[in-house]
Structure 1
Amino acid sequence: MLEAANFSKTWLPFCKKFQVESTSPEAYFRTASELVNVQEWLSVKKLYEDMKMRIETTTKLNQIPEYIQKQHKGFREWDFVSSKHDHQTILQILIDGRDTNAVDIEGNPLPTLVYLAREKRPQYHHHFKAGSMNALIRVSSKITNAPIILNVDCDMYSNNSKTIKSSLCIFMDEEKGDEIGYVQFPQCFYNLTKNEIYGSSLRVLLQLEVLGFDANGGPSYMGSGCFHRRETLCGKKYEKNYKVDWKKINDKKVSETASFLEETCKVLASCTFEHNTPWGKEMGLKYGTPVEDVVTGMSIQCNGWKSIYLNPEREGFLGVAPITLLQNLVQHKRWAEGELQLFFSRYCPLLYGHRKIPLKLQLIYSTYKLWAANCLATWYIVVVPCLCLLKGISLFPKISSPWVLPFVYVTFVHRAYSLAEFLWCGGTFRGWCNDQRIWLFKRTTSYLFAFFETILKLLGHSQLNFVVTAKVADEDVSKRYDQELIEFGAASPMFDILATLAMLNLFGSLGASKKATMDADQDSKVLDQFGLQILLCLVLVTINLPVYQALFFRKDNGKMPTSVMYKSIVFALLACMLAMY
């Protein structure tokens, strides 16, 4: 942060002069197609590369240079810390925006920049991201008390400098601005492949479904890329005659010195500050759930505020999508588990939102809360028709029967509508196929684990945990991701399930083919009676082609582990034998 503060003195004037987008130097120098001014461009890029080298060198040495420690006493405190999970509050104002010397190379004032590491002690629960956000809200209220707060995840950067102006235009709108609690931008990613192999863009959800939120009270808070009105995060309820005097807010002066603020603000980020206070309950982000952002946004709306979904043509913020299948499945397990926990808690939209938000908005929230429960229907579709086919039990009407038409109609129209949605939102046909595959993978693994872990927690057999999705990968993994090869490469119960279900449907399809070809006279009867079941199994086999490839044909490190292959074959054969005998 200190290096970034020094670099900003050159970088910000450069961005203003040449209207640079995005203002993240890493992203800009990675994607810049034409030089705005060769000499100046090379000069700024060299400054950036030198800064990166100094940061990487310091990281390798695991020691901050002595001259920096002398300039900034906050860094010296880390010398007395034995563990990152057990330390005092460390606070350092790196740029004091009120100081007349805090200017860039052109003499323009720089914004205040503060480094904060909140206190952590093993005996106190730190409440993950929600606890961190609440500490930042309290400390910032003492240092700047800015009326608008933006929060972004650590792997995201600003891709559109006009997002701040656009959001302020909404908050300051003379007619409806005082009703708005927060402005939410979609979560977008810069590292997606052309055909989105893991369906990470969630393009239909973000470009179509969230608009349903927007039309019925406003979107949910997504945890990143969101501009908040500070008062709403501090628990303020909306009042009909509520008006903000923006000029009065802008004229506020703070007289304390930077060193005084550093010392007095430390207590606000201590472990014990929140004891016997409304923080985490009525104030700040809510505690006790992996999806603290969703329940926080819903509570803001229940306090009478509305929200706005802003999706500009140029994405506001860009982040990093998971580049392995396991990362993707773990992330969705956490989301689905947190959402289902909310549904069975006092924050259930139908109870918590009763008479506070519109019924339509309650129902929209509920559909996402029940993601994990979808695993039951999906498992039925994937397992039962296949086993019944092996046993010779027909589940659908005969092909020759007119009652087959409703099944064919619903299936075809539903998939055609899904494809049209995906293509309208800018996707490709292969991208849609990948999206359908990941849809199946998530519902048979992520949602399954989320569902049963939630049930166990409700019965008191499991404790709340928070899994951080890793976004860093080695060169081989990144190369396979760019080639759009699904990364299996690790032993996991989720992969055991995927491989077993894939083998089960393969055996079911082979069994049906054998039954149909053994007797030419029976061939037409089998196809007539079991046509839809056979078709369903073949569709599932087609969806699972990358799984078969990873089990039997791939030689790279991204293939399925051998142990997974053996277990899947054994489990699938056992299931087939039980069904048949």
Structure 2
Amino acid sequence: MSKNGLQLRLYEEMKMRIETTTKLNQIPQHVYKQHKGFREWNFVTSKHDHQTILQILIDGRDTNAVDIEGNPLPTLVYLAREKRPQYHHHFKAGAMNALIRISSRISNAPIILNVDCDMYSNNSESIKYSLCIFMDEEKGDEFGYVQFPQNFDNLTKNDIYGCSFRVIQKLEVKGLDANGGPCFIGTGCFHRREALCGKKYEKNFRFDLKKLNNTKVNERASLLEEICKVLASCTFEHNTTWGKEMGLIYGFPVEDIVTGLSVQCRGWKSVFLDPERDGFFGVAPITLLQLLVQHKRWTEGHLQVFLSKYCPLLYGYKKIPLKLRLAYCAYNLWAANCLATLYYVVVPCLCLLKGIKLFPKISSPWVLPFAYVAFSHHAYSLGELLWCGGTFLGWCNDQRMWLFKRTTSYLIASLETILKLLGYSQLAFVITTKVADEDVSKRYDQEMIEFGVASPMFNILATLAILNLLGSFGTMKKVTMHADKGFKVLDQFGLQILLCLVLVTMNLPVYQALFFRMDKGKMPSSVTYKSIIFALLACTLSVY
């Protein structure tokens, strides 16, 4: 059997064992006896209340730790940090900081790779590429981290949920390299340990990555496990700078963004590395609610950063270039886009029903600036996406998703951030589930937007969609029933009518889910009834 064939067979066997264990919800007895970490879980009453469980599964210093071809295996460690209900565990940032401390005792490797649990390496050369940057004789010592793009291997042809970030990663982020480097996006990132642990950059900084740390070679794995457990305890960080000046910063749903900003403000630079073969792949959301919840968390975290002491304009003053601070602010203020978008979605439609004119007449020369801005903006965004490898339908989907996100995720993120600042809400970290049943996956492959469950976000989407539909019908009725005044109405309200029709077109999948679809991915009846009532109430109030 060839080498590739053997690797494939071993992978399939491992996959089968994992799937069998998942289905049976039981660990095979021989595996259970092999690892003492499993036995320690017997004494755990809750996943939110347990002791530190640590096991060195493979000791890389053991000469017997080799693969089937005789090649040495790297050290592999399993860690479940201590969790107690009375202590805040700080979500992903707390887990990362515990791992940083544990690894400093076991290996103390100068470079750390951070990858999310739903991502995998697609290019083994990514390690070499990153080390080439860190080890560059002229500029290598300036870099604190090397960020790879966040790519997904389950995107549909036309990217139905607009998850690819093509323009951001291919154009926007690459432009930051000349201004101090991109932000840290939480995954696919190689960190210099010293930069991540709070060390400030010094011009005479020199570190030899080839130098190995052999201070722990004489310690046995069992002894190391006991020594390291205290580093992952709930009380270890008390009266320390962990989460403030060392490790990942606490207190934000986007701990990666504020941590990257902190590293750059300490003098380190970063670099965006996008090789021809993608370095890492992950799983994108395959339902609309997953996408909206994910973006709510991101935009809420960004806005909290902007309104905190870590605001890039203030925190980065005289530390990083102005252009980089403004680039951070562009993402920090994503949530604020909900205000302008809601205005254009709600106000023109209601004013159309009432007969209030908002834009110049079609026959007026003052309509030209509006037409120029609308055409040039959309033509430019379409050109960007096509240049980055997208499709026209992908651009249409992207525009639709921006509308959905701004009127739901961004709006709720803004409201919750305000409530948090007023003391009425607490920090929460919502994990985006990526697991779905076979029917959902099939509809996703067919590029059908998945609704299927009741959600306040869907109430907003459906209400706004029906509102614009009623506004369009009401206006068309005026035009057709009064032929003598039809051209006058079109002349006066042409831009408002066009805006409503564009919004109706963008909401076609919502109308299908509300009234026509019969599969499980349709809009729930409760959402349909509520949205119709809310839309009719808004129309009645606007008219009378």
- TM-score normalised per structure 2: 0.98
1:48 deviates by 2.9
Per the alignment, do residues 149 and 526 of structure 1 end up closer, same or farther by CA in structure 2, a change over 3 Å counting? Answer: same
Give the distance between the partners of 1:323 and 1:482, measured in 2 at CA.
9
Give the distance between the partners of 1:45 and 1:165, measured in 2 at CA.
24
Which of 535, 555, 562 is 2:498 aligned to? 535
Give the distance between the partners of 2:300 and 2:9, measured in 1 at CA.
46
1:40 deviates by 5.6
* Aligned residue number for residue 328 of structure 1: 291
Which of 124, 129, 141 is 1:178 aligned to? 141
Which of 440, 449, 455 is 1:477 aligned to? 440
Which of 312, 319, 325 is 2:275 aligned to? 312
Deviations 1:332-378 (A, max 9, x none): 00000000011111111111111111111111101111111110100
Deviations 1:519-578 (A, max 9, x none): 222111111111001000000000000011111110000001111111111111111111
- TM-score normalised per structure 1: 0.92
Deviations 1:192-215 (A, max 9, x none): 000000001111111111123222
- 2:428 matched to 1:465? yes
Give the distance between the partners of 2:401 and 2:379, measured in 1 at CA.
18
* Aligned residue number for residue 159 of structure 1: 122
Give the distance between the partners of 1:568 and 1:70, measured in 2 at CA.
56
1:43 deviates by 4.6
1:146-545 mapped onto 2 (5 Å cutoff): 146-249=109-212, 254-545=217-508
Give the distance between the partners of 1:70 and 1:507, measured in 2 at CA.
66
Secondary structure of 1:471's counterpart equals: coil
Secondary structure of 1:346's counterpart equals: coil
Give the distance between the partners of 1:70 and 1:574, measured in 2 at CA.
65
* Aligned residue number for residue 79 of structure 1: 42
Secondary structure of 1:373's counterpart equals: helix
Amino acid at match of 1:68: V
Secondary structure of 1:115's counterpart equals: strand
> 2:252·2:304 contact (CA, 8 Å) conserved in 1?
yes
Instruction: Give the CA RMSD over aligned residues.
Output: 1.3
Amino acid at match of 2:14: M
1:250 deviates by 5.8
Per the alignment, do residues 251 and 44 of structure 1 end up closer, same or farther by CA in structure 2, a change over 3 Å counting? Answer: closer
* Aligned residue number for residue 108 of structure 1: 71
Give the distance between the partners of 1:575 and 1:168, measured in 2 at CA.
59
Give the distance between the partners of 1:228 and 1:61, measured in 2 at CA.
39
Secondary structure of 1:439's counterpart equals: helix
Deviations 1:476-514 (A, max 9, x none): 000000000000111001001101100110111111111
Give the distance between the partners of 1:525 and 1:579, measured in 2 at CA.
22
Which of 55, 79, 84 is 1:92 aligned to? 55
Amino acid at match of 2:171: L
Aligned residues: 544
- Answer with 392-401 or 102-111: which moved more: 102-111
1:88 deviates by 0.7
Per the alignment, do residues 546 and 65 of structure 1 end up closer, same or farther by CA in structure 2, a change over 3 Å counting? Answer: closer
Percent of aligned positions that are identical: 79
Amino acid at match of 2:155: L
Give the distance between the partners of 1:288 and 1:192, measured in 2 at CA.
32
Secondary structure of 1:247's counterpart equals: coil
Give the distance between the partners of 2:342 and 2:475, measured in 1 at CA.
20
Secondary structure of 1:417's counterpart equals: helix
Give the distance between the partners of 2:524 and 2:28, measured in 1 at CA.
45
Per the alignment, do residues 88 and 250 of structure 1 end up closer, same or farther by CA in structure 2, a change over 3 Å counting? Answer: closer
- Answer with 212-221 or 466-475: which moved more: 212-221
Deviations 1:268-304 (A, max 9, x none): 0111101111000010001011000000000000000
Give the distance between the partners of 1:61 and 1:387, measured in 2 at CA.
56
- Answer with 227-236 or 241-250: which moved more: 241-250
* Aligned residue number for residue 26 of structure 1: none
Amino acid at match of 2:538: A
Give the distance between the partners of 1:241 and 1:249, measured in 2 at CA.
21
Amino acid at match of 1:458: L
Amino acid at match of 1:163: S
1:260 deviates by 0.8
* Aligned residue number for residue 14 of structure 2: 51
Give the distance between the partners of 1:433 and 1:62, measured in 2 at CA.
43
Give the distance between the partners of 1:195 and 1:327, measured in 2 at CA.
18
- Answer with 207-216 or 315-324: which moved more: 207-216
Give the distance between the partners of 2:304 and 2:237, measured in 1 at CA.
24
Give the distance between the partners of 2:384 and 2:152, measured in 1 at CA.
20
Secondary structure of 1:330's counterpart equals: helix
Give the distance between the partners of 2:191 and 2:404, measured in 1 at CA.
35
Deviations 1:297-343 (A, max 9, x none): 00000000000000111110000000000000000000000000111
1:63 deviates by 4.0
1:76 deviates by 1.5
1:252 deviates by 5.8
Amino acid at match of 1:566: Y
1:406 deviates by 0.6
Amino acid at match of 1:354: Y
- Answer with 183-192 or 82-91: which moved more: 82-91
Give the distance between the partners of 1:159 and 1:248, measured in 2 at CA.
28
Secondary structure of 2:173's counterpart equals: helix
> 2:349·2:471 contact (CA, 8 Å) conserved in 1?
yes
Deviations 1:218-252 (A, max 9, x none): 00000000000000111000001111123334666
Amino acid at match of 1:414: H
Give the distance between the partners of 2:350 and 2:496, measured in 1 at CA.
10
> 2:120·2:280 contact (CA, 8 Å) conserved in 1?
yes
Per the alignment, do residues 277 and 437 of structure 1 end up closer, same or farther by CA in structure 2, a change over 3 Å counting? Answer: same
1:81 deviates by 1.2
Amino acid at match of 2:348: P
1:257 deviates by 1.0
> 2:106·2:216 contact (CA, 8 Å) conserved in 1?
no
Give the distance between the partners of 1:100 and 1:40, measured in 2 at CA.
23
Per the alignment, do residues 267 and 69 of structure 1 end up closer, same or farther by CA in structure 2, a change over 3 Å counting? Answer: same
* Aligned residue number for residue 25 of structure 1: none
Give the distance between the partners of 2:123 and 2:10, measured in 1 at CA.
23
